[in-house]
């Protein structure tokens, strides 16, 4: 049974809320009511919160919800998008509240993308300390966990410039290492529906012989980064500003030089080579995700 939370208010809708209401107009009445209750719960609990950009925080969950609703037409996923930051960012909201008021499907999705958690509310005995491995493990149970996270990260990248430089670089690094490969595998930009994405993920894991969340994480990182393991990932994530990167493919170097959005974001420190080999070292000055096939390695660490 679905339980509704109602916020008694005569406050006018924001533009984002109005956009969301237009998006759900064609849905069944009970689905509309369920999503409106999730919207009201999110609005009530994110009230007076702002993003780094200065905008009301509620813009973010609504933006993520609109993305997943238009892509996947999945009610539980859309509700989870509206609620995905409430446990993490709103005082007094617990994962028990989400399960109680919005049911097990939505509860599991929100539980899975909540950063501070290492266990799962309704799966006793499972504790995963690594945040990304926990996310992938949950995505192996329900692919909508990963679809929600991809939409969340996509929306957050729109305001990456409002973060401090080292936080920009950290977010971009994590996106390059994990979420860019997942977007490709799950057909995120190709319009795969939920079941298609689930089949694609299962086929990817089977074809690569990957049986655990840790194996999948390592394989994802290997697509963009040379010789990475969990320890190195953690080191880079926690100290991105100290990393000097390298590329050993001239075509990748040329692509970076010719890409306007990378101008002023990547600073080359040395470029050398001959007919047999090539190496360029560089540092990131801000956060950017490099599209396409690339292989980055670590050249050195700045003291």
Structure tokens at 184: 């490709």
Strand, coil or helix: what is 195? helix
φ/ψ of 254, rounded to 5, equals -65, -40
Check residue 13 and give its pLDDT. 54
DSSP string, 260-279: GGGTTTEEEEEEEE-SS-EE
75 contacts 34 by C-beta, under 8 angstroms: yes
| Average pLDDT for runs of 10 along the chain of length 303 | 40 71 94 97 95 93 97 98 98 97 98 94 95 98 99 96 93 96 96 97 98 97 91 90 93 92 93 94 93 87 79
- Name the residues annotated as catalytic: 88-89
Check residue 295 and give its pLDDT. 87
Check residue 240 and give its pLDDT. 87
224 contacts 180 by C-beta, under 8 angstroms: yes
Residue 280 belongs to what H/E stretch? Answer: strand 278-284
What are the residues facing 297 on neighbouring strands?
Answer: 246
Q: How far, in Å, are 34, 99, 160 from residue 93 at the CA level?
A: 18, 11, 26
Check residue 303 and give its pLDDT. 64
Name the DSSP class of 46. Answer: S
Using CA atoms, how far apart are residues 257 and 117, in angstroms rounded to an integer?
Answer: 41
φ/ψ of 65, rounded to 5, equals -65, -45
Name the DSSP class of 27. Answer: S
Strand, coil or helix: what is 120? strand
Regarding pTM above 0.85, the answer is yes
Using CA atoms, how far apart are residues 90 and 102, in angstroms rounded to an integer?
Answer: 17
Using CA atoms, how far apart are residues 173 and 167, in angstroms rounded to an integer?
Answer: 10
Check residue 163 and give its pLDDT. 94
């Amino acid at each position: 049974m679905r339980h509704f939370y109602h916020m008694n208010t005569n406050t006018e809708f924001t533009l984002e809320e109005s956009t969301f209401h237009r998006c759900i107009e064609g849905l069944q009445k009970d689905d509309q009511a369920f999503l409106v209750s999730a919207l009201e719960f999110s609005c009530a609990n994110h009230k007076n919160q702002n993003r780094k950009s200065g905008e009301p925080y509620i813009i973010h969950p609504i933006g993520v919800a609109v993305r997943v609703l238009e892509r996947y037409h999945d009610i539980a996923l859309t509700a989870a998008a509206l609620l995905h930051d409430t446990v993490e960012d709103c005082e007094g909201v617990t994962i028990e509240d989400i399960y109680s008021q919005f049911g097990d499907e939505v509860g599991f999705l929100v539980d899975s993308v909540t950063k501070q958690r290492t266990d799962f509310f309704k799966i006793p005995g499972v504790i995963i300390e690594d945040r990304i491995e926990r996310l992938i493990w949950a995505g192996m149970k329900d692919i909508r966990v990963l679809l929600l996270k991809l939409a969340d990260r996509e929306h957050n990248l729109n305001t990456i410039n409002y973060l401090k430089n080292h936080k920009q670089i950290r977010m971009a690094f994590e996106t390059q290492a994990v979420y860019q490969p997942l977007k490709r595998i799950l057909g995120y930009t190709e319009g795969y529906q939920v079941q298609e994405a689930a089949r694609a993920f299962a086929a990817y894991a089977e074809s690569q012989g990957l049986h655990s969340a840790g194996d999948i994480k390592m394989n994802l990182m290997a697509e963009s980064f040379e010789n990475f393991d969990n320890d190195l990932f953690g080191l880079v994530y926690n100290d991105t500003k100290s990393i000097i990167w390298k590329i050993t493919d001239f075509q990748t170097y040329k692509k970076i030089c010719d890409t306007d959005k990378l101008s002023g974001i990547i600073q080359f420190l040395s470029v050398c080579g001959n007919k047999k080999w090539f190496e360029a070292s560089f540092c990131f000055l801000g956060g950017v995700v490099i599209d396409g096939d690339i292989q980055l390695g670590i050249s050195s660490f700045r003291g």
